[in-house]
Structure 1
Amino acid sequence: MIEYNSSKGNNMSATYDAASQYRVTASPVLSLDQIKYAFEKRLAELLPSSGNPGDLLTEAMQYAVLGGGKRLRPMLFLSIVRDLGHNAPALFDLAGAIEIMHAASLILDDLPCMDDAKLRRAQATVHIKYGEDIAMLAAVALLSHAFHIVACAKDVSANARICFTSILAQAIGAQGLAKGQYQDLHHVPQRPVADVARTYALKTGALLGVAIEMATTVAQTSAETTQSLRQFAAAAGQAFQIRDDLLDVGVGPAAAEGEINSKDIGQDARKATLPSTLGIVAAHLRMVSEATQAYFHLDVALGPHNQTRSLLAALFPQCDARNIPAPVND
Structure 2
Amino acid sequence: MTAEPDSSLDALLRRVNARLDALMPPVLAGQSALDTAMRDSVLAPGKRLRPIMTLIVAEDLGGPSDAALDAGCALEMVHAASLILDDLPCMDDAELRRGRPALHRAHGEDVAVLAAIAILSGAYGTLARVEGLAPARRGEAVAVLAEAVGTRGLVAGQFQDLRGGRGQRPLAEIADANGLKTGSLFTAAVELGAVAAEASEAVRTDLRAFAAEIGLAFQLLDDLLDGAPSAVSIGKDVGKDRGKSTIVSMIGPTQVRRHIERHVAAADARLDAVFGPGSRLHAMVAAIFAGSIPAEAADEPVLEHEAAR
Report the CA distance between 1:223 and its aligned residue.
Answer: 3.2
What does residue 303 of structure 2 align with? none
Offset at 1:226? 1.9
Q: What's the counterpart of residue 286 of structure 1? A: 259
Residue number among 175, 199, 207 corresponding to 2:185 in the alignment: 207
Residue 213 of structure 1, CA deviation: 1.4
- Between stretches 100-109 and 154-163, larger displacement belongs to 154-163
Measured in 2, the distance between the counterparts of 1:71 and 1:101 equals: 12
**Hey, what does 2:205 align to over in structure 1?**
227
The answer as to whether partners of 1:184 and 1:271 remain within 8 angstroms in 2 is no
- Kept in 2, the 8 Å contact 1:121–1:262? The answer is yes
Q: Which of 93, 99, 115 is residue 76 of structure 2 equivalent to?
A: 99
Q: Distance in 1 between matches of 2:205 and 2:134?
A: 25
Instruction: Name structure 2 gaps, 5 residues minimum.
Output: 293-309
Q: Which residue of 152, 175, 184 corresponds with 2:152?
A: 175
Match of 2:129 among 152, 162, 170: 152
Q: Deviations over 1:173-221 (max 9, x none)?
A: 1111001000111014311110001001100000101012112222232
* Cα distance in 2, alignment partners of residues 200 and 266 from structure 1: 18
Partner of 1:8: none
Q: Which residue of 2 is the match for residue 191 of structure 1?
A: 169
2:157 counterpart of 1:165: no
Partner Cα separation in structure 2 for residue 99 and residue 68 of structure 1: 12
Please list, as runs of the form range in 1=range in 2, the aligned pairs for 1:212-291 lying within 5 A after superposition.
212-250=190-228, 260-291=233-264
1:28 CA drift (Å): 8.5
The answer as to 2:268 corresponding to 1:299 is no
Kindly indicate whether residue 105 of structure 2 is the aligned counterpart of residue 132 of structure 1.
no
Unaligned 5+ residue runs, structure 1? Answer: 1-26, 252-256, 320-330
Contact 2:186 2:215 in 1 (8 A): yes
**Measured at CA, do residues 283 and 305 of structure 1 come closer, stay the same or move farther in structure 2, by a change above 3 Å?**
closer
Match of 1:58 in 2: 35
Q: Distance in 1 between matches of 2:271 and 2:10?
A: 20
8 Å Cα contact 1:83/1:308 also seen in 2? no
Contact 2:54–2:193 (8 Å) recurs in 1 = yes
1:89 aligns with 2:66: yes
Distance 2:179 2:49 in 1: 16
TM-score normalised according to structure 1 size: 0.82
> Which stretch has the larger CA shift, 109-118 or 299-308?
299-308
Distance 1:231 1:45 in 2: 32
Q: Contact 2:203–2:274 (CA<8 Å) still a contact in 1?
A: yes
**Divergent runs of 4+, >6 A:** none
8 Å Cα contact 2:68/2:192 also seen in 1: no
Residue 10 of structure 1 aligns with which residue? none
Matches of 2:95 and 2:10, distance apart in 1: 30
Distance verdict in 2 for CA 1:52–1:101, change over 3 Å: same
Q: Which residue of 2 aligns with 1:46?
A: 23
Relative to structure 1, the CA distance from residue 295 to residue 288 in structure 2 (aligned partners, 3 Å threshold; closer, same or farther) is same
Distance in 2 of aligned mates of 1:270 and 1:119: 20
Q: CA deviation at 1:84?
A: 1.3
SS at match of 2:240: coil
Which AA in structure 1 matches 2:186? L
The two structures have a TM-score, normalised by structure 2, of 0.87
Q: CA deviation at 1:259?
A: 7.2
Deviations 1:227-281 (A, max 9, x none): 2211110110000000001000118xxxxx9973411001122322110121121
Identity %: 40
CA distance in 2, matches of 1:269, 1:84: 43
Q: Distance in 2 between matches of 1:139 and 1:313?
A: 31
1:32 to 2:5 alignment: no
